[in-house]
Amino acid sequence: MAGRVDGKRILITGAGSGMGRAVARRLAKEGAKLTIFDLNAEAAADARDEIVSEGGMAIAASGNVVSREDVAAAVAAGVETYGGLDVMFAIAGIIKPMHFLDVTEENWRTTLDINGLGSLICQQEAAKQMISQGTGGKLVLTSSIAGRQGYPNFAAYCGSKFAVNALVQAAARGLAEHGITCNAFAPGVVDTPLWRKLDLDIMELGDTSAPGQAFAEFSGSILVGRPGTPEDVTGTALYLASEDSDYMTGQVVMIDGGMVLV
């Protein structure tokens, strides 16, 4: 039986861990030809090996999303192996919580750089390739509940995810003439290495007193009654990569179990 993204050539940033890796595994099972991109070269190679051992197609490329050179090289590696690029997922991201009054220029700049500028560079480098092919394509970014609401300890992170929403709309309008769509999925509280570190960082700020407390408190208002797993976002990601979403652009889809109702 044909997969839902059979033969689609897909680049995924942040695919060495958490949601990026889960999305990569799901897309591979649906027939995608993947380029796994991550700052952590070992994690990227490990994800590639796992996908290949599961019968999927993947190559690994390591680099930093804020380096145009690194991103362009990853696009080129995928094109060399598969002959083109159809879909780009920008999933790589970071968070470092700080009390609002303590937010530093460094915290703001680093977070906006990786989550914001990194997404823009990935959109641009992927779109340039798609335009040169003349085939159109799909760009998918990663927003957050923090792209819909401000949280007191996440000012820089919220700024970066509101920026992601802006990039979704700007790219949707700017690239429509080339047949390129841009959307994002926006997770809530998902059990990944990012949240496990965040939980400890919040404890270090003195706002919680035990490991797991911040994660549990944040998960308390989720309507479906539990925090997310990386696999929970893969159905939406698959939809956004597949032809089923061809008539959709400029949208940010909440996939948060019901935390932010917009």
Ligand X SMILES: NC(=O)c1ccc[n+]([C@@H]2O[C@H](COP(=O)([O-])OP(=O)(O)OC[C@H]3O[C@@H](n4cnc5c(N)ncnc54)[C@H](O)[C@@H]3O)[C@@H](O)[C@H]2O)c1
Binding interface with ligand X (CB under 6 A)? 13-14, 16-20, 38-40, 43, 64-66, 91-95, 114, 118, 142, 144, 187, 189-190, 192-195
| The two structure tokens encoding residue 19 | 């949601």
Which alpha helices (H) appear in the chain, and where do they start and end?
18-29, 41-53, 68-82, 105-111, 118-133, 155-175, 193-204, 213-219, 234-241
Shortest separation between residue 146's beta carbon and ligand X, angstroms: 7
| The two structure tokens encoding residue 132 | 């040169």
**Which residue from 97, 175, 102 is spatially nearest to 141, judged by alpha carbons?**
175
Shortest separation between residue 2's beta carbon and ligand X, angstroms: 28
Q: Is 211 exposed, middle or buried (0-12, 13-18, 19+ CB in 10 A)?
A: exposed
Shortest separation between residue 200's beta carbon and ligand X, angstroms: 13
Q: Which residues contact 235 (CB under 8 A, 6 or more apart)?
A: 26
Shortest separation between residue 235's beta carbon and ligand X, angstroms: 16
Catalytic residue positions, numbered: 157
Query: By C-beta, is 56 or 230 nearer to ligand X?
Result: 230
Q: Residue 81: count other Cβ atoms within 10 Å of its Cβ.
A: 14
Query: By C-beta, is 78 or 187 nearer to ligand X?
Result: 187
Query: By C-beta, is 24 or 172 nearer to ligand X?
Result: 24
| The two structure tokens encoding residue 108 | 């703001």
Query: By C-beta, is 70 or 86 nearer to ligand X?
Result: 70
